């Protein structure tokens, strides 16, 4: 795994942990006690930073998602109607066979 990906995953995990840890603290504040403006400002900045991080991740992963969608559609087109196949069967040697419910014509060359 490239260093950049490990760093990104660690940064994401740290941001999520901070965001989740701050949520119960805000809920436990006494209603008669005024909120700390510095804490509120810091939480807002953290929220904006997380939004930017997730937008960046989504922008970076969007082309991969589009490619996966195109590949999935190609596979579905290639397979055709899945109801034309039996359920997968595992053979004693470990092979997996997926048989057609109605065999192809004998003259068909695959």
Answer yes or no: is 11 within a domain.
yes
Answer yes or no: is 92 within a domain.
no
Number of compact structural domains in the chain: 1
d(CA 85, CA 99): 6
Answer yes or no: is 15 within a domain.
yes
d(CA 62, CA 17): 25
pLDDT tens readout for residues 2-16:
444 555 666 666 666
81 HSE (CA, 13 A, CB side): 5
Answer yes or no: is 66 within a domain.
yes
pLDDT computed for residue 1 by the predictor: 40
Stated as kind and residue range, the H or E segment containing 3 is helix 3-28
Q: Which domain range does residue 24 map to?
A: 3-28+37-80
Reference 12, options 53, 51, 52; nearest CA is 53
Answer yes or no: is 106 within a domain.
no
Decide which of 19 and 89 is more confident. 89
Total-model pTM: 0.35
pLDDT tens readout for residues 29-76:
555 555 677 788 888 888 888 889 888 888 888 888 888 888 888 888
């Amino acid at each position: 795994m490239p260093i950049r990906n490990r760093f990104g995953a660690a940064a994401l995990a740290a941001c999520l942990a901070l965001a989740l840890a701050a949520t119960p603290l805000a809920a436990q504040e006494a209603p008669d006690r005024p909120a700390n403006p510095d804490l509120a400002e810091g939480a807002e900045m953290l929220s904006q930073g997380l939004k930017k991080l997730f937008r960046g991740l989504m922008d970076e992963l969007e082309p991969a998602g589009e490619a996966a969608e195109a590949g999935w559609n190609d596979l579905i087109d290639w397979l055709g109607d899945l109801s034309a196949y039996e359920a997968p069967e595992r053979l004693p040697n470990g092979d997996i066979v997926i048989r057609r419910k109605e065999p192809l014509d004998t003259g068909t060359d695959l």
